[in-house]
Structure 1
Amino acid sequence: MDKKEFRVLINYCFLIGKYTVEAKTWLDAEFSDTALGKSIIKDWYAKFRPGEMSTEDGECSGRPKEVVTKKVVTKTLKNPQNDFK
């Protein structure tokens, strides 16, 4: 089972009123080989409580990915602040 499917099951447990411990117990009983940890279930419950019902990954802010090209490598190696000895 993938992460998205587990999130939907966690959302289901939340909507029917199960506590996190009950959800963990149920998931362990049904999917013992791939069940999630308590902290992951708690994190998703915390997300669902204010009314956010999406099970998708959120946007990740931060540094954008850069493509490694010959130009970028040459520029990095020529930079006098880098010490690649």
Structure 2
Amino acid sequence: MIRTVPADELSSLRPASRAAAAGFAPRATASLRRVVLRFWLATAARHVRGQSGQHSSMLIHAHSDTRVHDSYGPVLNALCGEVARGCSNTPM
């Protein structure tokens, strides 16, 4: 599945030039949050269906420079923490 990124979010998700890749820090835009949450929900559904041993992956391909790929780690970890805190604060 391919999701397109709104043009107004591009500067938050990829560096403007190859030279800017080294210091680039992405932000969790609305579209990035949406696709990551959808992937996590789909993965959770697969676990419930007993498919937790099956391969599942998501690629966020924002640039050819691996430093840009690495820069997504803190953003995704922060989003994961935010979602986990939200789940633990939700009354059952």
TM-score by length of 2: 0.36
Q: Normalising to structure 1: TM-score of the pair?
A: 0.38
**Structure possessing the higher radius of gyration over alpha carbons:** 1
With CA pairs under 8 Å and 6+ residues apart, which has the higher RCO, 1 or 2? Answer: 2
